[in-house]
Amino acid sequence: MPLFAASRKVYPQSVSGPFRRAKWLILFLCLGIYYLLPFLRWDRGPHLPDQAVLADIANGRFYFFFIEIWPQEVYYFTGLLILASFVLFLMNAVAGRVWCGYLCPQTVWTDLFLAVERFFEGDRRERMRRDEAPWSADKLWRKSAKHAVWLVIAWWTGGAWVLYFADAPTLVRELATFTAPISAYVWIAILTFTTYSLAGIMREQVCKFMCPWPRIQAALTDDEALNVTYRYDRGEPRVSVKQAQKLRAQGAPAGDCIDCHQCVAVCPTGIDIRDGAQVDCIQCGLCIDACDTVMARIGRPTRLIAYDTETNVKRRMAGKPAIYRPLRVRTLIYAALIVVVGGAMLWQLATRRTADISVLHERAPLFVTLSDGSIRNAYAVRLLNKRPQVRPFALTVAGLPGIRIDAVGIAPTADLRPVVTVDPDSSREVRVLVTVPAGVPLEASQAITITASDLFAGETVRATDHFMAPGAKP
Amino acid sequence: MDQRHDAPEIDPVTGHATTGHEWDGIRELNTPLPRWWLGIFYATIIWSFGYWIVYPAWPLLTDATRGVIGYATRSDITVQMNELKAQRAALAAGMTEATPAQIKADPKLFQIATAQGKAAFGDNCAACHGVGGAGAKGYPNLNDDDWLWGGSLDTIMQTLRHGIRVAGNDDTRVSQMPAFGRDGLLKRGEINAVANHVRELAGLPTEPKADLALGRKLFADNCAACHGPAGKGNQELGAPNLTDAISLYGMDMASLTETIGNSRNGVMPAWGGRLDETTLKALTVYVHSLGGGQ
């Protein structure tokens, strides 16, 4: 005896209409970008990779067109994730789960896999009939061909993924000659398996059982959000076409819904939208296309199922006109947050420097008394050069009378400034000694500023730290 | 599907079958978990049996089951340590050839040497000289610019290799300051006078009743041979400069009379036989880079 009832297999029927066309368009757009983007080139100069989008894990760099992100700048990704959540919230507040229905990778790949299935096994009825029929040569070759094409798509999906982590043309050649790193093959295998099983086999069950968004979305939505809605004010009571004509002739009320179940047949998650808004609905709008076709055929107004709000259905029931309020407190707050977070990120990106300095005071010892009585502190100074050229940085220090700076292993210039050269697109740490002559009155701790100036480009970065003197406690 | 002859109860509101379970009048709907989900769940349970057999798993009274492949975290560590050693050997290869001066001139070797030297310093030197070479009373601070035996790469390497006052090592650094009090060379009052003169040399206040003239004469007779007439010291002999702002054993009266009366003869081990050449070089370069290197 099974612990639970088996889930019902969904056989979505093909459908045509504006929403289906929108989905095809988005599918080609998204997959086109995903598969081709790694091959887009972007000239960054002689020392840097020329791939437009590249996650260079080995060298700790992420390249996105003109943006180059260093490991210590991963907060940009945090910002992007926050931004993505707000955009998702806003989309949800305005038009429900448009993400799920049109943009979610699960939806996009499932759509593609369904198209392959239809190509080999036919539409809904034919597939159902074939699944019930005993195995035959015809059934075998159709099923095999379907799975083979699925596997090719899944394999290519995993293949495209690894291209984002290395120079794409080189990696393609390496993959073909079996000289690529083993991790590339492992990742392709993993993603082939997940794409095949998620988009080919699990499909709507991913949305229903694995994805957390339906639960979160249900908590975020309200009656004013546009959702795929069955207008029961117009559809009920459900009667046949003939019955409806008869009733209307008598002046009696008759609904437009003829209970043809087309909306159920085309639904990729296998639900009946006429049961109202529900967690299984990904709001792809295919039921709208299906219902519109039927309405046109029986000569009734289209959009019996439409993007509509719960509020409007109730208002029409009460005889009031429909109202749409996309500008609500909820949507305005989300929009404002998007502007604030996006603006902050853009500002940060626009004002980011191509050089950086970080200073770490050495703690053992906190300070050293030299033979002439002067006091010296040591610091680990790290200089970052994000440009593709070698850059010389002159170090200076300020904050106390007679204060002097030296870098271990680097001869100072005539004006006593040590000049540290940093290689292109890298960082260099130097041990820096800061000395204050004897006789300068010193507190246990005082602030000083260490400045690094690019001798050619003139860019200047500075950092403040403390200068410790006798009396300081470790 | 449920094949029991008693048909499942149907929930009137949703039309779903129920499990027949009821709590406080609420009936549980029989909402199916997907088969693949259950399949994975059962597979993980079966998989765990494999773990029990393959890996050490079950605690016994005095031991634990060993597992059939002989896996142990300890053997993992041995493998990793060997890999690490091989890696380090490749890095250190360049250092076996180079002299400390060449290492210092090559930025890449310098980086490796200071990193390796820092680790070796922590293991061998930090116990006396402190982490970072800050030193303590009697243990020289290696960050300052005052060197008893010289602060060049060669002299540091020599001190490291042969140590200081190491019995049986012919090349060890030796300086013998007599114990003027204990050996009866100077009387108590004379020691006090010399101590006051040393403070005078260093520019420190002297005791009001001190016989500075006696101190000056005794210093010239007994101390100047090593420390120089002006007390500036001599690195050849390991005699410290008494006039600078740094002292190894303290410049207060009590410390000075103790030093003059009983002498101080600190010992540093010779690391020549204990550490390999590459590590000695790395230590030399690291100590030199602390800031006092000449």
Looking at chain B, which residue has its C-alpha nearest residue A365? B134
Residues of A in contact with B17 (CB under 8 A): 5
Alpha-carbon gap: A200 to the closest alpha carbon of chain B (Å)? 13
Residue A102 has pLDDT above 90, yes or no: yes
Q: What is the mean pLDDT of residues A174-197?
A: 94
Count of other CB atoms within 10 angstroms of residue A403: 17
Q: Is A408 on the interface with B (CB under 8 A)?
A: yes
**Is it the case that residue B3 has pLDDT exceeding 50?**
no
Contact state of B4 with A3 under an 8 Å Cβ cutoff = no
Cα B240 vs. chain centroid, distance in angstroms? 27
Chain-chain contact of A365 with B2 (C-beta, under 8 angstroms): no
Mean pLDDT over residues B17-42, rounded? 85
Contact between B30 and A4 using a beta-carbon 8 Å cutoff = yes
The answer to whether A4 contacts B31, with C-beta atoms less than 8 Å apart, is yes
Cβ-defined contact of A433 to B291 (cutoff 8 Å) = yes
**HEC secondary structure over chain A:** CCCCCCCCCCCCCCCCCHHHHHHHHHHHHHHHHHHHHHHCECCCCCCCCCECEEEECCCCEEEECCEEECHHHCHHHHHHHHHHHHHHHHHHHHHCCHHHHHHCHHHHHHHHHHHHHHHHHCCHHHHHHHHHCCCCHHHHHHHHHHHHHHHHHHHHHHHHHHHHHCCHHHHHHHHHCCCCCHHHHHHHHHHHHHHHHHHHHHCHHHHHHHCCHHHHHHHHCCCCCCEEEECHHHHCCCCCHHHHHHHHHCCCCCCCCCCCCHHHHHCCCCCCHHHCCCCCCCCCCHHHHHHHHHHHHCCCCCCCEEEECHHHHHHHHCCCCCCCCCCCHHHHHHHHHHHHHHHHHHHHHHHCCCEEEEEEECCCCCCEECCCCCEEEEEEEEEEECCCCCEEEEEEEECCCCCEEEECCECECCCCCEEEEECCCEEEEEEEEEEECCCCCCCCEEEEEEEEEECCCCCEEEEEEEEECCCCCC
Partner-chain contact A4 B246, CB within 8 Å: no
Mean per-residue pLDDT over chain B, rounded: 88
With bands split at pLDDT 50, 70 and 90, how would you rate the model's confidence at B6? low
pLDDT digits (tens, 9 = 90+) for A350-363: 888 889 999 999 88
Among B288, B291, B260, B282, smallest CA distance to B98 is for: B282
Q: How far is A362 from chain B (nearest CA, A)?
A: 9
B36, B142, B204: best to mutate for the A interface, most A CBs within 10 A: B36
Cβ–Cβ below 8 Å for B291 and A2: no
Contact B2 A202 (CB under 8 A): no
Contact B245 A7 (CB under 8 A): no
Distance from CA of A281 to the nearest CA of B (A): 17
Question: Going by C-beta distance under 8 Å and a sequence separation of 6 or more, which residues neighbour residue A205?
Answer: A7, B34, B36, B37
Q: CB distance B241–A362 less than 8 Å?
A: no
Chain B interface disruption, residue of A368, A422, A426, most B CBs within 10 A = A368
Distance in angstroms (rounded) separating the CA atoms of residues B279 and B162: 14
- CB A368 to CB B144 under 8 A? yes
Q: What is the percent of chain A where pLDDT is above 90?
A: 59
Most B CBs within 10 Å: which of A361, A369, A410, A434, as the mutation test of the B interface?
A369
pLDDT of A473: 64
Which candidate from A205, A363, A373 shows the least CB-CB separation from B245? A373
Look at B241 and A1 and tell me if their CB atoms are within 8 Å: no
How confident is the model over A15-53, as pLDDT tens digits?
A: 999 999 999 999 999 999 999 999 999 988 777 889 999
pLDDT-derived band at A209, boundaries 50, 70, 90 = confident
- Give the tens place of pLDDT for each residue, A3-14: 555 677 899 999
**What mean pLDDT value characterizes chain A?**
90
Q: Is residue A138 scored above 90 in pLDDT?
A: yes
CB contact A378 to B (< 8 Å)? yes
Q: What does the pLDDT look like over A360-386, one tens digit per residue? A: 998 888 999 998 889 999 999 999 998
Mean pLDDT of A444-473: 89
Q: How far, rounded to the nearest angstrom, does the alpha carbon of residue B145 sit from its chain's CA centroid?
A: 21
pLDDT in tens, B179-211: 999 999 999 999 999 999 999 999 899 999 888
C-alpha distance across the termini of chain B, in Å: 87
pLDDT the model gives residue A381? 95
Chain B residues close to A5, C-beta within 8 Å:
1-2, 17, 30, 32
Cis peptide, bond prior to residue A237, ω within 30 of zero: yes
In percent, the amount of chain A with pLDDT more than 70 equals: 98
- pLDDT above 80 (res A471): no
Please list every residue in chain A whose beta carbon sits closer than 8 Å to the beta carbon of residue B2: 1-2, 5
Tell me whether residues A370 and B246 touch, CB distance under 8 A.
yes
The pLDDT score that the predictor gives to residue A219 is 83
Q: Which residue has the tokens 């060997």?
A: B82
CA distance B210 to B223: 18
CB contact under 8 A, A5 and B17: yes
Of A6, A209, A408, the CB nearest to B1: A6
Nearest CA in chain B to A3: B32
Find chain A residues with C-beta within 8 A of B18's C-beta: none
- Residues of chain B with C-beta less than 8 angstroms from the C-beta of A279: none
- Determine the Cα–Cα distance for residues B103 and B114; give it in Å rounded to an integer: 10
Contact A372 B245 (CB under 8 A): yes
Q: State which residue of chain A sits closest to B247, comparing Cα positions.
A: A371
Residue A345 has pLDDT above 70, yes or no: yes
Q: Which of A279, A408, A429, A436 to probe the B interface (max B CBs under 10 A)? A: A408
* C-alpha distance from A422 to closest chain B C-alpha (Å): 12
Task: Work out the angle at residue B160's Cα, subtended by the Cα atoms of residues B158 and B165, and round it to the nearest 5 degrees.
Answer: 85
Which tens digit of pLDDT belongs to each residue from A245-299?
888 888 888 888 999 999 999 999 999 999 888 888 999 999 999 999 999 998 8
Task: Give B14 or B150, the one with higher predicted confidence.
Answer: B150
- Reported as a pLDDT band with limits 50, 70 and 90, residue B2 is very low
Whether A451 and A355 have beta carbons less than 8 Å apart is answered as no
pLDDT of the residue at B219: 93
Question: How many CB pairs lie under 8 A apart between chains A and B?
Answer: 87
Whether residue A4 lies within 8 A of chain B, CB to CB, comes out as: yes
Residues in chain A closer than 8 A to B1 (CB atoms): 2, 5-6
The whole-number pLDDT of residue A361 equals: 93
- Which of A14-28, A222-236, B256-270 is predicted with the least confidence, judged by mean pLDDT? A222-236
> Which residues of chain A lie closer than 8 angstroms to B134, CB-CB?
364-365, 368
User: Closest to A205 (Cβ–Cβ): which among B3, B4, B34?
Assistant: B34
Is A4 close to B33, i.e. CB distance below 8 A? yes
What is the pLDDT at residue B227? 93
Interface predicted TM-score (ipTM) of this complex, two decimals: 0.71
Q: Strand A368-369 and strand A375-385: pairing?
A: antiparallel
Out of B2, B144, B289, the one facing A5 most closely (by C-beta) is B2
Chain B's closest residue to A430, CA to CA, is B111
Interface of A with B in 358-377 (CB under 8 A): 362-365, 368-373, 376
What is the predicted pLDDT for the residue at A462?
A: 92
* A5 inside 8 A of chain B by CB: yes
Q: What is the model's pLDDT at position A1?
A: 43
Q: Which of B110, B132, B146 is facing A371, going by the closest CB pair?
A: B146
- Given this model, what pLDDT does residue A36 score? 94
Across the range A56-64, mean pLDDT stands at 89
* Residue B7: pLDDT over 80: no
- Nearest Cα of chain A lies from the Cα of B207 at a distance, in angstroms, of 22
Contact A253, A238 (CB under 8 A): no
Among the listed residues A461, A450, A458, the one whose alpha carbon sits nearest the alpha carbon of residue A380: A450
Residues B139-158, mean pLDDT to the nearest whole number: 91
Query: What is the predicted pLDDT for the residue at B27?
Result: 83
Q: Residue A378, CB half-sphere, CA atoms under 13 Å: how many?
A: 23
From first CA to last CA, the distance across chain A in angstroms is 71
pLDDT at A331 (0 to 100): 92
Cβ contact, residue pair B245, A409, below 8 Å: no
pLDDT above 90 as % of chain B:
47
- Over residues A206-217, the mean pLDDT reads 88
A267 vs A74, residue with greater confidence: A267
This prediction's pTM: 0.70
Tokens of A35: 């598969």
Confidence of residue A225 (pLDDT cuts 50, 70, 90): confident
Span A384-436, pLDDT tens digits: 998 888 899 999 999 999 999 999 888 778 788 899 999 888 889 999 999 99
How far does A346 lie from chain B, in Å, by closest CA? 38
Beta carbons of A422 and A393 less than 8 angstroms apart: yes
Nearest to A272 by CA among A282, A261, A283: A261
Q: What is the mean pLDDT of residues B37-56?
A: 92
Q: Determine whether the interchain pair B245/A371 forms a contact, defined as Cβ–Cβ distance below 8 Å.
A: yes
Tell me the sheet residues that pair with A394: A419, A453
